[in-house]
Chains A and B, each alone.
Chain A
Amino acid sequence: MNRLFLITALLFSLNSNATLDERTWCDGRIIHWNLYQVTFEPFNDASAIGMLEFWMGFHRNGSMIPNIYWYSWDKYLMNDDVSLYTDSSRTYLDLSHNTGSYSRGCYASLRIEGTSNGGPYSFTISGSGFISRDNSDLSSDADYFTLNNALITYGELSKWGKLTFTQIR
């Protein structure tokens, strides 16, 4: 009886480990069709230039979903009229860099290009970093993450900052 229990426990343990080792996928599925509040916050906040906010979502292939581009705010211009380029070469959240099966952090790169129509000012945000995964739930979305290595070019100014993604839906 004891041996049987021990063997069962061992098998269960091995199986658990096997599952945990491949527990996290790192591809577009973790951000697919999620509506995020995306904010860019410059590290130097002496002025509000570059402080932008979007409520937007992405397909699993990284391209933005124009239909759910819901809201925008430019804190510098105090204006909510910000247009984004929809082409996948200009606006994307790309998770296709990850090819391994054992990741606990998924590498993501982002680019958002658009125009703040209150100026108008053209801007480009680019950023990259890791999305930490909730390892206990295989199918969980990336519900909150930050890309710290982000740069905005707004007008002719460039500012480093961080991008924060908070899931709304």
Chain B
Amino acid sequence: MTKNFKLIAASTLFALFALFVIYVFYNQNNSSKTPPQSSNMQNNNSNEELFNAINLLKKEVVSLRGEIKNIEAELRTITIKNSTDDQVLIEISAQENNFNAYNSDETVKPFHIKTTGAENKTYNESQEQAFELLQNSDIFESIPDVDE
């Protein structure tokens, strides 16, 4: 009876141990794998983060566009301000600034320039030269008269 009891007890203990070992192995094998539900959640989270980042970038782009527009408007204001202050002259050449619709585009240079040529002169030098030239000339000679 005692022998049977011992055998049964030993068998039971062995079975329990075997079950324990199996349980431990099972847990070890399955613990390294993430459950499919958890993986999906992580993917969802990362997608959401990406969307958030994209939205944030979009907001930044919109904000930057607004700032660019503001800067452009500010620059325009500065240009106008400078214009009214008469400090800055926009570089527009005579050829580009073709504001005259007239066909009569015959021009004349001053006699002084035609005679002496364009040189680097100061105002006084230039004027003295022109005045000297004027004093030695009969400027009203051969001027064609006009009808009233």
| Contacting pair B85 A33 (CB below 8 A) | no
| Contacting pair B134 A75 (CB below 8 A) | no
Tell whether A121 is near chain B: CB-to-CB under 8 Å. yes
Known: A59-B146, A155-B90. A73 touches B126 (CB 8 A): yes
Tell whether B44 is near chain A: CB-to-CB under 8 Å. no
Tell whether A113 is near chain B: CB-to-CB under 8 Å. yes
Give which listed residue, B85, B146, B148, contacts A46 with CB less than 8 A: B85
Known: A70-B139, A78-B123, A156-B83. A86 touches B106 (CB 8 A): yes
Known: A67-B139, A90-B104, A169-B139. A81 touches B90 (CB 8 A): no
Give which listed residue, B85, B100, B126, contacts A113 with CB less than 8 A: B100
| Contacting pair B113 A81 (CB below 8 A) | yes
| Contacting pair B112 A155 (CB below 8 A) | no
Give which listed residue, A55, A73, A85, contacts B104 with CB less than 8 A: A85
- Nearest CB of chain A from residue B98's CB, rounded to whole Å: 8
- Contact size range, A: 35 or more
- Nearest CB of chain A from residue B145's CB, rounded to whole Å: 8
**How far is it, in angstroms, between the C-alpha of A71 and the C-alpha of B129 when the chains are bound?**
10
Residues 66-111 (chain A) with a chain B CB within 8 angstroms: 66-73, 75-76, 78-87, 89-90
Q: From B91, B118, B122, B140, name the one whose CB has the most chain A CB atoms within 10 angstroms.
A: B140
| Contacting pair A157 B106 (CB below 8 A) | no
- Nearest CB of chain B from residue A164's CB, rounded to whole Å: 15
Chain B residues, Cβ within 8 Å of A68: 111, 139-140, 143
Give which listed residue, B99, B106, B140, contacts A87 with CB less than 8 A: B106
Chain B residues, Cβ within 8 Å of A119: 93-94
| Contacting pair A121 B94 (CB below 8 A) | yes
Interface string of B87-130 (1 = CB under 8 A from A): 10111111101011010111111111100001001110011001
Tell whether A168 is near chain B: CB-to-CB under 8 Å. yes
**How far is it, in angstroms, between the C-alpha of A87 and the C-alpha of B145 when the chains are bound?**
15
Chain B residues, Cβ within 8 Å of A155: 89-92, 97
Chain A residues, Cβ within 8 Å of B111: 67-71
| Contacting pair B95 A120 (CB below 8 A) | yes
Q: Which 5 A-B pairs have the closest CB atoms?
A: A87-B104, A71-B130, A120-B94, A83-B107, A66-B108
* A–B Cβ pairs within 8 angstroms, 7 of them: A35-B139, A70-B134, A78-B122, A79-B118, A82-B110, A155-B90, A157-B90
